[in-house]
Every structure is written in C-alpha cells, then in structure tokens.
Structure 1
Amino acid sequence: MAEKQRLLVDMDGTLAVFTPVDELETLYEQGYFLNLKPINNVVQSVKEIIKHNPDIEVSILSAYLSDSPYALDEKNAWLDQYLPEVDLEHRIFSPCGSDKKDYLPGGIRETDFLLDDYTHNLKLWQPPARGIKLLNGINDTRGTWEHDRIRYDKSPEELAGNIVNIMRGEEQIHEDKLNALAPNNYCDPYWNKHSLVNDDEIEDEWENVP
C-alpha cells in the first residue's frame, strides 16, 4: 500500500490570527493562545481536505514557547475547539527556534507539504520537501518566497482545492499579497522572542542568513 502524502499545517498566522502584543510577557499569560481567533476559512479548508481526501494525511506542525506553562496545553485546547478532526496523534509541536522538520515522525519525505505563513520555516522545509505559503495579510512584504503561495481570502472549498491541486502537481499558484488582516507590526516569538519585530525586518534578516 502506497504511503499517503502528508500535509503539515502551521497554527499561528495560518489557522489562527496571531494577535499583536506590546510586551513579550503577554505571550506567557494564561489564555493568550487559547483565545486567538481562528481564520475561519482556512480552518474550514483543512476540514474539507480531511473529509474529501483520504489519501492525504493531515497533521498540525506548530512551534510553541517551551518555557511557557500554558502554551502547549492551550494550543491543544484550541485545536480541540476549532479542529478536533486532527487527533492528538497528528499534532506535532516543536520548541520555538527549532527546525520543524526535525520533529516529523519517521523524518521528512520529498512528498511532504508544509502550509505556513512564515518564509523562514518554508525555506528550512524546501528542499527536500515542498512548502506552500499562506498569504494572511501581514506577511509577504518582500516577496522572497518564490514558490507556491495562496491567499487566505477565498472560500474554504476553493482554498482546499488549491492546496490539493498543488500537492498533486496539477497546478502551481503564485498569488499576490492582499490587504492587511492585522497590523504589520507584530511580535513573532518564533523568530525573535525578545523584541517587537516588523515583517520587513524578518524578511531582511532571513536574506542575510548564510
């Protein structure tokens, strides 16, 4: 029996709106991750993929603050509420700052796909596997991701179809960025936990990494 293709889905900025904060300590407060609002059409598109594509194995692959007493439990509780179709066995969490692909059971495969909003993660992923960048309104300010990228602002059915078609090699999609979903200044603990950063600075700093 052939192995299923695997779709790994990020959470913050992909399934959930990452809420801007003024201070790092806010990320460590009880309820912060649990109360993130879902990006509903993306959540529904993942449900569509699970329901209609039994040949695709869907898992969550999300970074978390390993020194937070709440982050991991709250991310699981968030998934229980909004995406219970993904069971505990298919929820993979990596400590902030680590390479996500190092935490895949059995290692990464060339046929694996990562749906993520963050170019840094995608560039670590592809190669050897493939990445799809979700354009959520605050990212892609520099356009440094040259591979498949899709906008979040479409119906769940269309978004699910785009993802599946990319995975099956039936089309390549290079959509343009859209108007802001949230302010462009935000705190991304997965790049730099110690300062407020701007998406432009994230792209610039990544481009300077050897």
Structure 2
Amino acid sequence: MKKRLFVDMDGTLAEFRPTKNLEELYEPGYFIQLRPIANVVDMINRLAAGKDIEVFILSAYLEDSKTALVEKNMWIDEYVGEIGEGHRLFLPCGMPKILAVPNYTPDKDYLLDDYTKNLLEWPMEDKAIKLLNGINGKGGNWKGFRISCDQSSEIMEKLLKEKILQSDLLRKERTIK
C-alpha cells in the first residue's frame, strides 16, 4: 500500500508573510506573491516525481475571498508543478484538515504542516510531521517528529522517507516475530 503525504502550503511550502490586518489577506496578489521556502519546495517536487510516496497539497483557504483559491493554484503551478490538480485539496479555514482527505487510511496517511493545531487534529499524531520554519516551534507544544526548513532538501527528504517508510518495516518486523 503506497504511503500518502499531505503537505500544507502557507508556512510550509510558502513563507508566511505577517499582515497588519486581516483585510490584507483579501487583497489581490497576496497569495501569488508569497515566496517559496526553497528547500521544502525542492524536496516536495522530488518526492512527487518519485514512486515511493504519493504527494498531495492540503491547504486551507479563505472561503469568502475572490482571489485566494485561484492564486493558491497559480502558486502551486509555478513552484510545485509536479503536483497536478487531482492532488490539490483545499478546505475552508478553520476546518480540520482530515475532512478534505479522501479515503483516509491510518496506516498510510501523513501530514506535513507548520501549525501545531493542525498536527494535533490529525487522527494519528505519530503520522503528523512538524515543519519548523523559523517562526514556529519556539513554544515547545509539539512533541512529535519534526524537520527544519534550515536543513538541506536532501536531508529533509531522507528524514521524511525514513519516518514514512520505516513504519512499514517496523510492522513487518513485528509480524515476523
């Protein structure tokens, strides 16, 4: 059974850009102008092009924004072109991300996100992976597995693959014993 990785966008693939007020998030150009987190984008493009792990974008959007969803798709086209429209999942802000996951399977579905609340809402916390992006991770609320965008894309990819693919090895070892 192929493993699936669901990857957050804002703060994980794209740099979080603080705003002075909520209205800025509704301004045309806000989402398309977010800078990519280069190491993470590179890693995700390689994972998506590989055969070991099926990669999805799983992002919340402002339901009442006229531009957010369109711009998020344009951003993905530009930076994470390996991920086609069928692997892009969007849900309204505030909803648990698991609600957008088709045919959720505890043994094979993982979440990579920068926001602890999203990770804590994932049904299997040992399948949730925190991305430290330089803004988050200072409070120590997340005790689970984490990677840092300061690591090279190769190291992040190796750590993710070990985390995701090792669960199969451990289960096989238990079955053999």
Q: Between the two proteins, what is the percent identity of the paired residues?
A: 49
Q: Is the 8 A contact 1:10 1:61 kept in 2?
A: yes
- Counterpart Cα distance in 1 of 2:41 and 2:153: 8
Which of the numbers 41, 48, 52 marks the counterpart of 1:55? 52
> Deviation per CA, 1:41-89, whole angstroms, max 9, x where unpaired?
100011121233x031100000000110000000000000001100000
Alignment RMSD, CA only?
A: 1.4
Question: Are residues 1:28 and 2:18 paired?
Answer: no
- Cross-structure match for 1:92: 89
**Greater helix share, 1 or 2?**
2
Kindly state the Cα deviation for residue 126 of structure 1 after the two structures are TM-superposed: 4.0
- Counterpart Cα distance in 2 of 1:25 and 1:122: 27
Which of the numbers 154, 157, 161 marks the counterpart of 2:158? 161
TM norm structure 1: 0.76
Which of the numbers 20, 42, 45 marks the counterpart of 1:44? 42
Q: Is the 8 A contact 1:112 1:129 kept in 2?
A: no
Q: Is the 8 A contact 2:126 2:144 kept in 1?
A: no
Kindly state the Cα deviation for residue 97 of structure 1 after the two structures are TM-superposed: 0.4
Question: Are residues 1:14 and 2:12 paired?
Answer: yes
Q: Is the 8 A contact 2:110 2:164 kept in 1?
A: yes
TM norm structure 2: 0.90
- Counterpart Cα distance in 1 of 2:88 and 2:126: 19
Kindly state the Cα deviation for residue 106 of structure 1 after the two structures are TM-superposed: 1.7
- Counterpart Cα distance in 2 of 1:167 and 1:38: 24
- Cross-structure match for 1:82: 79
Count of aligned positions? 167
Q: Is the 8 A contact 1:119 1:133 kept in 2?
A: yes
Q: Is the 8 A contact 1:111 1:129 kept in 2?
A: no
* Structure 2 unaligned spans of 5+: 168-177
1:111 maps to a residue whose letter is: K
- Counterpart Cα distance in 2 of 1:76 and 1:95: 15
> Deviation per CA, 1:127-169, whole angstroms, max 9, x where unpaired?
2761000000110121111110111112111111111111012
